[in-house]
Structure 1
Amino acid sequence: MNFQHLLAPVFLMASAWLHAASGASDGSGTPPPAVAPEDESYVFEVQSGDLLNRERPTLPDLSRFSAQQIEAHLRQRPDAPGIVRIERMVGIPALDDFLEGEQAREWVIRQFSFPKAIVIKAGRATLEDVYRQINNGRVMERLAEGVYLARLPIAIMQGATLVIRGETLRLSEERGAFLASDGGFFLINGRLEGWREAANGPATYQASEAFRPFYTGWGGSETFVHGSELAHLGYNMTKSYGFSVAQYSEDDNAILQRSAPTGWLIESGFTDLYFGFYSSQAEDVAIINNLYRNSIANGIDPHDHSQRLIIAGNEVRGTRENHGIFISGQVNGSWIFGNRSHHNGRSGIVLARQSSGNVVADNVVSDNQGDGIGLYESPDNLLWGNRLIKNQSNGIRVRNSTDVLLYRNVALLNGTYGIFGQLKDLSDTDRDFAEDAYRFAVSMTVVGGKLAANASGPLASDNPQYLSLFDVEMRFPGTEGGIQFDGALGIHQSAILDALINQQQAVTLRPAPRVSLN
């Protein structure tokens, strides 16, 4: 979805003119030059606010994501009796990624033999089916009615399905158990957890490099979770992050020809996962009305070309290291709305690395250690009706991102600015500028909403390509000097406030035309 057509032509002209002059990266791998003269002169225009008004976005209907529809998806899968075997891990596509390099030693050491796995080869199996067909208590043990402990990895083959309904599957940390799906996985009113046998208790987080069981749904897989609890999963190893939905590598998929993985996660709890959710090249995933508690690195973390996601109605709290909701790496055309993200180690919601065409609406983001919402090198996104309250840094940060639309947002009591447009030179970082090119530019349109009692002021921006304002309520400045604009806004502060408040008109700030001396 492209929001640029909603801007007045003069804004687009200003954007195009400055793009030509700004030295934006051309994708060649060379970072854009960090040129943003502090003495750039700006002019502003006063015009009708009608040019900036737009309709509230229509959000996706969530009623179709229900327990009944999950049952319908299950009925569509082959229902022949499940066939379960113990086989060597080598050569099973869903397991190959975990045997690369030094990782293979992990399972040799934990299993005391050539690595093996429980393989659901075909049909539809329950945990009881798996337990009975394996018939080996050293491999899979029934601890109590409906409670099973697996001591080997479990692989679901293409076309096969594992259904956990009202049961608990514990995955042994000591023995290197995990669950990987190349087919269908349904967790309905059940529990999936990492288990530490030595302590006869959950595999609570100890260190990022320390193995913990995990779930990964690969390319072509379907993953459905409803009314369930998932806990104590994941560590810092590729695709072993906790709960992941990821495509096979480019080389592997050239052979396997798997479609993008997909799934629904609904009305469930995710506790003490390294990443509460991670995706790579997933499509049409729905993450709705879940509770993410005490994730380690990130809470909800869609990555790398995942498309058309719906992240709605979730509560994400207590992420230890980074962000509550973190969208990164050209995650486009997605919807993030109605979530509560609070008390996280850094920001509440972040869109990064050229994630564009997304709608972020009606979220309540509070008490985070970083920004409320951050847009990092991610142009052409719409933020509508979000409430950013008591975050330690900015309510909204727009960094190196252009054509950003900020409508009807409320930023209160944040530690620096209500809204901050930032230019930041990333040339001294390890960023791959061929893969993650960006423009050293910022531009945004701010319409409606309230910016109140933010410690450094309501609004500031480093040298913007353009900055358009209309109908923004600014109250209770955080300084004794009253409302103070910093950056490019400061020199025209009186005139801008007069136009916004007294004339009730829109204002567009843009660089003054450069005069040729020839």
Structure 2
Amino acid sequence: MKTARLLTLSLLFFFLAFSHVWASLMDADISPELLEKFYKKKLIVPKIENPETVVPERLKVEETVPTLEELLKKYSPEKLIESVNLKGNGEKVLYVLPVEKLFFLPFEEYYLKWHKKGVKIIVLSKGKFSLEELYRKVEDPSLISKEGKNVYTLRAPLFIGNNATLVVKDSTLRLAFEPGAPIMCSGELYILNSTVLTWDTKNNRYLPIGKIDRKSYYLYGAQPPRPYIVAVMNGKLRIVSSTIKGLGYRGLFSSFGLGANRWENKKKPYLSLLNFFVSSFLKEEKENSREPAVVLVGNTIENNYMGYYSNETLGAVVLGNVFRGNYQYNFDPHDWSKGLIVGYNIFEGAHKAHGVVFSRFTEGKVFKNICAGNHGAGIMMDRLSRALIEGNLILGNGIGGISLLESDGNEILNNTVIRNNAYGIYVRNSLNALIGGNTILRNAGAGIEVSVIDISYQTYRNLYLDPYHLASSAWIEENEIRGNMRGEVKSLWGGVAVFKNRFASTDFVPFGGDLRLLASKILKSQEEEPVVVPGKGRKEWIKREIPDITPYLLRFEERALKLGNREAMLPIGFIKLNEETGSSPCEKLKGQGVEWILKRAIEGDSNALTSLGLILLTCKSREQRKEALVLLSEGALLGSAQSKYVLFLLPLLSEIDQREIERAFKEAVKRVESGFLVNCELWKEELSCCPKTVNPLLKSKLRSFRKRFHVLGAKSCYDFLSKDIKTFTKEALENKLKRVKGRIEKKNERFVRFFQWEEEQLRRATEEYEKNSTEALTFFERNREIIETWNLVLRDSAKKDFELIKPLLEQRIREINLFRTEKMKLNVEKEINHFWRKYFEGD
């Protein structure tokens, strides 16, 4: 049974539906669950050469969860709603544009759907908008329509810029499935006392996700894009006392339902000037940047592809919500998301995976939640994630209660882990877990398992981002562990320390694996001092290093410069800029990188002028910002398509308006005519002199600009930019579509390779059973009998177990209601009856 927990059973179901193995299974009458356990049993025993001794250490508990009073004082739903002022002072500016003009926004698969269909996007540039103000200002029912009092249908994608806010209050917002109405926010989005859902405009009805076929569930590009809401960069998402349903799909960029993505630029800045611009200027921290990126209080979030997903998000407060029936995960903060406060929620019934999963370097606190009936684990820490997991009720989950997979240093304290369909608490390839004060009762696996597992068969694992070690250890102290089907504590190569626990096993031998023969010692001695049983393994990381090609690039460009290629000065500058210290490019103005770029800009290189302008845009000084606009204008005058595009974006996404751009163009024309391309006073420390350019092409390029200006019939410089970027954006979008298709193929190739491998293992396991292998027959028959017996045990203990947790369940539901407004409060009696019927009465 120990091998049942390595992968979700859904991986198995996917390829069974598409292979001959399924027919064999039906003929042989083998449970897919048991088949998976049998073939995994032969694969997971680690093969470690020269293993070292692994001894658990007891973590010092230095963190605490915030008190209920502290949280209510700051995050009362009524106060949060009252604090939002619907009337915003200042100008309200929005744009309606062809969607390809914002090709850099990560709508990913949606672009494949929208391509050449004339889809428009609404961009909120400045000011605070209500839904009614948005509807009236757009004045186009094909983009946003009003169906009744406070009922609106958004029929186009929406981008909320840095300096804009949208408030959805006391309303119903329908997001059209066709052509698609995802919402992306780098400003602020408030959803208060409202309902947001996916809408079928053809049939005028709510469009639930419905059943997703197995192939579409795993492979990218297979599901049709559905509307979603995601905060990007420093965007703020505030959702209080609302219902969110039917959003999201499996996509390449945070398209899963509700989400937040810091959108960090993974590329080196010298490889993409546009990415450099997006990742620096658009991410400028705001005055309220210390506030959490996401606040979700008192909502019902159900039937989405995922309830919530994040990537690199700094801070999220999630209190008093009900996450139910979301398709994959109910709650999935991911990839370097930090500072999460996740308390007093219900996470129930995730169809395909876990209730709560922190994955890849994610950290936070998970406390006082109810995690029940999820297909996978109730709570999982995955891929070097860490949390204080305290006071949760973990009930009836499909794979198990609490999982630590390749995640060190987790604290699991004072939880009630009961009647889960596999382990209670599972520690795999994770060091120094502290498991204390928990009640771990009647789980179908071991109460606690600490194991070292060889996961090299996971060919889809990214060893650049997801290293792991073959070593596990846990300190197990003052828990009540009883009645678990596979024993109370089990170890497979893992190191454990057992101290002052209470045991009451269903088996004569309460301990399994490496602890099986130590039962008398543990039971006799653990009250006096910790019984330490060292494990075996290797603590060093199994990983891959991303090769650094920067030195080779630098040598290549320096060689080109020596041979007379002056264009090499620009990449040399960016390479050096990237190597210099500083959190922003503006902090590197005195470095060699900027000096190289400056030298090339003086010579009239339009890309260097653009680069210098982008760097200055990250600065706070008014004078530097003004110079940035002039440099970008010079780049545009001299033919840089990227300069034109950046200048076009600035009024949409920043406080810079079109008048400032007009003034910058006038100054740029004077400089090009005079030959002085930079402000010598501003750069006097970097320049020994401010040479006058001798490039004879400058005035020729200026004449070409003026000619094109008149040919396009432009009324202003900004109008010229808007018209002249058409070719640039068209080509950029075509290139993006190619990249999206390539990424889909690359990602899917990993899964397909793994599915093919696993299908072969299933075929071999089935053949072994059909050949009447003694080992196989014994395994299947024994497990069938154990499962039947276990179901009888659960049935007989149902009332007693329910009475044990009923006070805690009632208390938790009442506490959750404190974070919900009157109309959203849960019926306590109805909820208790629901949990009884679903997790106890049916056993």
Question: Which residue is equivalent to 2:506?
Answer: 478
* Matched residue, 2:424: 395
Q: 380, 388, 409: which is aligned to 1:350?
A: 380
Q: Is 2:431 the partner of 1:431?
A: no
In the other structure, the counterpart of 2:180 is 176
Identify the residue that residue 48 of structure 1 maps to in structure 2: none
Given that 1:70 and 1:224 are in contact with CA atoms closer than 8 Å, whether structure 2 keeps it comes out as no
Mark the structure with the bigger radius of gyration. Answer: 2
Counterpart among 25, 30, 35 of residue 47 in structure 2: 35
| Partner Cα distance (1:191, 1:137) in 2 | 20
The equivalent residue for 2:707 is: none
Cα distance between partner residues in 1 of 2:198 and 2:157: 12
SS at match of 2:338: coil
Q: Could you tell me which residue of structure 1 aligns to residue 112 of structure 2?
A: 105
Contact persistence 1:448–1:473 (CA under 8 A): yes
Task: Give the C-alpha shift of residue 449 in structure 1.
Answer: 1.7
Q: How does 1:76-91 map to 2 (within 5 A)?
A: 79-91=89-101
> Which residue identity does 2:324 align to in structure 1?
R
**How do residues 401-480 of structure 1 correspond to structure 2 at under 5 angstroms?**
401-429=430-458, 430-464=460-494, 466-475=495-504, 477-479=505-507
Task: Confirm or deny that 1:224 pairs with 2:248.
Answer: no
Post-superposition shift, 1:407?
A: 0.7
1:472 is displaced (CA, Å) by: 0.7
Within 2, Cα distance between the matches of 1:256 and 1:361? Answer: 40
SS at match of 2:129: strand
Question: Given the superposition, is the C-alpha separation of residues 152 and 308 from structure 1 closer, same or farther in structure 2, using an over 3 Å criterion?
Answer: same
Whether 1:145 and 2:170 are equivalent positions in the alignment is no
Aligned match for 1:96, one of 96, 105, 115: 105
- Over the matched positions of the two proteins, sequence identity in percent amounts to 25
The DSSP-based 3-state class of the residue aligned with 1:159 is strand
User: What's the CA shift for 1:146?
Assistant: 0.2
Measure how far apart 1:41 and its partner are: 10
Distance 2:125 2:64 in 1: 43
User: Which letter does structure 1 place at the counterpart of 2:200?
Assistant: R
* Contact kept in structure 1, 2:59 and 2:432, CA below 8 Å: no
Distance in structure 2 (CA, Å) of the matches to 1:245 and 1:204: 22
1:432, distance to aligned residue in structure 2 (A) = 1.8
Q: Tell me: CA distance 1:439–1:189, structure 2 relative to 1, closer, same or farther (3 Å).
A: same
Q: Secondary structure at the match of 1:58?
A: coil
Checking the alignment, whether the CA contact within 8 Å between 2:192 and 2:239 is kept in structure 1 is yes
- Which residue in 2 is equivalent to 1:10? none
* AA of the residue aligned to 2:230: T
CA distance in structure 1 between the aligned counterparts of 2:425 and 2:477, rounded to whole angstroms: 14
Q: Which residue of 2 aligns with 1:340?
A: 370
C-alpha separation in 2, matches of 1:43 and 1:431: 27
Match of 1:490 among 494, 504, 516: 516
AA at the equivalent of 2:427: V
1:84, distance to aligned residue in structure 2 (A) = 2.8
User: CA 1:455–1:79 in structure 2 vs 1: closer, same or farther (change >3 Å)?
Assistant: farther
Residue matched to 1:20: none
Q: CA deviation at 1:67?
A: 3.4
1:117 partnered with 2:127: no
CA offset digits 1:218-237 (Å, max 9, x no partner): 01101111111111000011
Find the aligned partners of 1:190 and 1:43 in 2 and give their Cα distance: 53
Query: Does residue 82 of structure 2 align to residue 58 of structure 1?
Result: no
Q: Distance in 2 between matches of 1:81 and 1:294?
A: 42
Q: Which amino acid aligns with 1:315?
A: I
Q: Is the 8 A contact 2:418 2:441 kept in 1?
A: yes
SS of the residue corresponding to residue 519 of structure 2 reads helix
Moved more, 205-214 or 344-353: 205-214
Give SS of 1:354's match: coil
State the Cα deviation string for residues 49-83 of structure 1 (Å, max 9, x = none).
xx969779521231212336635874699642532
Range with bigger deviation, 276-285 or 422-431: 422-431
Give the TM-score normalised by structure 1.
0.83
**Structure 2 SS opposite 1:299:** coil
- The 3 A distance-change label for structure 1 pair 77 and 460 is farther
2: CA distance between counterparts of 1:227 and 1:81? 29
Gaps of 5+ in 1: 1-32, 45-50, 513-518
Counterpart check, 1:211 vs 2:202 = no
Q: In structure 2, which of residues 391, 414, 417 is the aligned counterpart of residue 362 of structure 1?
A: 391
Work out whether 1:196 is the aligned partner of 2:176.
no
**Quick one: structure 1 residues 490 and 174, their matched pair in 2 at CA, closer, same or farther if it must change by over 3 Å?**
same
The Cα of 1:426 is off from its aligned counterpart by 1.4
SS in 2 for 1:143: strand
**2:166 aligned residue:** 162
**Could you say which structure has the higher strand fraction?**
1
1:117 deviates by: 1.0
Q: Is the 8 A contact 1:40 1:463 kept in 2?
A: no
Rate the CA distance shift 1:42–1:487 in 2: closer, same or farther, 3 A: farther
Distance in 1 between residues matched to 2:238 and 2:340, nearest whole Å = 15
Contact kept? 2:59, 2:409, Cα under 8 Å: no
* Residue pair 2:258, 2:309 contacting (<8 A) in 1 also: yes
Q: 1:123 to 1:459 in 2, by over 3 A?
A: same
Deviation at 1:458, TM superposition (A): 0.3
Secondary structure class of the residue paired with 1:120: strand
Change (3 A) 1:55 1:375: closer
Deviation larger for 161-170 or 189-198: 189-198
The offset of 1:90, in angstroms, is 3.3
Partner of 1:248: 263
Change (3 A) 1:319 1:388: same
Whole-angstrom distance in 2 between the partners of 1:378 and 1:42:
16
Within the candidate set 367, 385, 389, 2:414 is matched to 385
Q: What is the distance in 2 between the residues matched to 1:483 and 1:499? A: 16
Structure 2: unaligned runs, 5 residues or longer? 1-44, 218-222, 268-274, 537-843
Q: 1:232, 1:510 → 2: CA distance?
A: 49
Greater Cα shift, 358-367 or 193-202: 193-202
Match of 1:507 among 531, 537, 544: 531
Question: Aligned Cα RMSD in Å?
Answer: 2.8
The one-letter code sitting in structure 1 at the alignment partner of 2:530 is: A
Please state how far the C-alpha of 1:91 moved relative to its aligned partner. 4.3
Secondary structure, counterpart of 2:136 in structure 1: helix
CA deviations 1:261-283 (Å, max 9, x no partner) are: 81200000111111100000001
Equivalent residue number for residue 7 of structure 1: none
Residue 435 of structure 1 deviates from its aligned partner by 1.6
Distance 1:55 1:150, change over 3 A: closer
Question: Separation in 1 of the partners of 2:499 and 2:404?
Answer: 21
Alignment partners' CA distance in 2, 1:144 and 1:76: 20
Q: C-alpha distance in 1, partners of 2:83/2:91?
A: 17
CA distance in 2, matches of 1:359, 1:55: 9
Task: State the distance in 2 between where 1:419 and 1:242 align.
Answer: 34
What's the CA shift string for 1:315-371, capped at 9, x where partnerless? Answer: 011110000111101002x10001111111111111000013x20000111111101
Deviates more, 1:170-179 or 1:302-311: 170-179
Alpha-carbon distance, 1:85 to partner? 2.9
Please list the CA deviations of residues 15-65 of structure 1 after superposition, one character each: whole Å capped at 9, or x if unmatched.
Answer: xxxxxxxxxxxxxxxxxx943599999999xxxxxx969779521231212
What is the CA deviation profile of residues 209-261 of structure 1, one whole-angstrom value per residue up to 9, with x for unaligned ones?
12211101101101111111111000011211101100124143534451588
Q: How many residues of Structure 1 are paired with residues of Structure 2 in the alignment? A: 461
| TM-score normalised per structure 2 | 0.52
- For the structure 1 residues 309 and 72, does the alpha-carbon distance in structure 2 shift closer, same or farther, using more than 3 Å as the test? farther
Question: 2: CA distance between counterparts of 1:498 and 1:337?
Answer: 33
CA distance in 2, matches of 1:141, 1:180: 19
3-state SS, counterpart of residue 455 of structure 1: coil
* 1:26 counterpart residue number: none
- The secondary structure found in structure 2 opposite 1:198 is coil
Q: Provide the residue aligned with 2:593 in structure 1.
A: none
Determine if contact 2:162/2:282 at 8 Å carries over to the other structure: no
